[in-house]
A = this chain, B = another copy of it.
Amino acid sequence: MFNFNYYTPTQVVFGKDTVEQVGDLVKKYGGTRVLVHFGGQSAVKSGLIDRVKASLDAAGIFHVELGGVVPNPHLSKVYEGIALAKENNIDFLLPVGGGSVIDSAKAIAYALYEPEEDVWDLYGHTRQSMGSFPLGAVVTIAAAGSEMSDSSVITNEKTGEKRGYNSDICRPKFAIMDPSLTLTLPDYQTMSGCVDIMMHTMERYFTKGGNMELTDELAEGLMRTVKKYAEILHKDPENYDARAEIMWANSLSHNGLTGCGNGGNDFASHRLEHEMGGMFDVTHGAGLAAVWPSWARYVYKEIPERFVRFAEKVMGVERTEGMSDEDVILKGISSMEDFYRSIDMPTNMRELGIEPTEEQILEMANGCARATGGKVGSAKVLYEEDMAAIYRMAI
């Protein structure tokens, strides 16, 4: 096992009707002038934005609003938020939404701390952030885990580049998680979220050389839980307890807990998906489902013991007489595909609804290589030709 750092300062306020605490929480963390950031009109129509504003008003906090954040959030919206925030002397960011909205708010928060710099430089990794304005989140979608994570992913819609920047600086001060807010999410979005949540732990689980038993136990328990409640929500979307399980798993899966001691995460599937998302604007979780089985078949020989353990402990594969390790591994991967199919998620790009040409595959592989400094992965280090090979397998 490797040395590690673990830092999750976000105060979690979890459960029914916790939204009404938002004004007091902003105040507690020093906010006096707030940008309420959100996505589509559903947050307005459902009355949620009004509840948030009423709570801010009750706490005597000034606020302006900026909606319109899209999935794979756009850099242009970030710039719009920066301008609006500067105009209104905003000192606190309040995203109300899922990962896209929170990631967009993180980008604005970085930018406000260094108003002379272009925030896109962070995502291009040409400089490091020196600080960020504080933010708190009201979570309405369980998927990206951004409310406790150090991560933010933004798409430059002019160039098609989807790029991430990670820093402890942007971890939110608080996160309000009311599972009720997710009860009306469409099935496709819920299931994509469940895939993303599982993948955040899988990216930390399939690594080479540094695993701790305690971390493995926590990771496996989390993955079993997500699998179980994804299946329940696919049939019974208004099940509050199931929504709660998924919502809490969402945060724990991406706050660092499930990777402690592993010596560095893999995240190759995420990086491969980023290029698909940049080129085709697919839903992130569904994109991950479409690429993971091919990634897994491409890399499993590097860390067979991890794949065996995953098959047995997470996918419930029972080793029968005569099964080799490889048989168990491949059964584990195909069981994951069965799970994806059972919740109407794709297992390859065709099922996802995209069919890149060879030229597009090479372009995505090249984009992925450029975005990762030429290589990515812990289970197996992937270079540009490996990336292209996995894309080809995933068609």
Contact = CB atoms under 8 A, between A and B. Distances in A.
B224 A217 contact: yes
A150 interface: no
A260 interface: yes
Interface string A1-24: 111111111011111101000000
Contacts of A383: none
A257 B5 CA distance: 17
Interface string A213-253: 11101101110110011000000000001001100110010
A6 B2 CA distance: 27
A248 B228 contact: no
Contact of A248 (B12, B13, B260): B260
Interface residues of A, number: 38
Query: Quick one: copies of this chain in the complex?
Result: 2
A261 interface: yes
A14 B261 CA distance: 9
A83 interface: no
Interface string A78-109: 00000000000000000000000000000000
A8 B9 CA distance: 6
A70 interface: no
A375 to B, nearest CB: 25
Contacts of A229: 213
A212 interface: yes
A212 B245 contact: yes
B16 A12 contact: no
A228 B213 contact: yes
A14 B3 contact: yes
Nearest to A219: B221
A217 B225 contact: yes
Given A212-B248, A214-B248, A12 B18 contact: no
Contact of A241 (B1, B244, B249): B1
A288 to B, nearest CB: 21
A338 to B, nearest CB: 21
Contacts of A14: 3-6, 260-261
A328 B209 CA distance: 38
Contacts of A215: 248
Contacts of A244: 1, 212, 261
B16 A5 contact: no
A11 B261 CA distance: 15
Contacts of A241: 1, 212
Given A221-B221, A241-B1, A214 B249 contact: yes
Contact of A15 (B4, B16, B257): B4
Contact of A221 (B9, B217, B228): B217
Contacts of A13: 5
A12 B215 CA distance: 15
A222 to B, nearest CB: 7
Contacts of A5: 11-14
A7 B9 CA distance: 7
B12 A9 contact: no
A373 to B, nearest CB: 26
Given A3-B14, A4-B12, A257-B257, 15 more contacts: A1-B244, A5-B13, A6-B11, A7-B11, A8-B8, A14-B260, A212-B241, A212-B245, A212-B248, A213-B245, A214-B222, A217-B221, A217-B222, A220-B221, A244-B261
Given A1-B244, A221-B217, A6 B15 contact: no
Interface string A244-287: 11001100100001001100000000000000000000000000
A357 B326 CA distance: 63
Given A11-B7, A12-B5, A12-B7, A248 B261 contact: yes
A12 B252 CA distance: 16
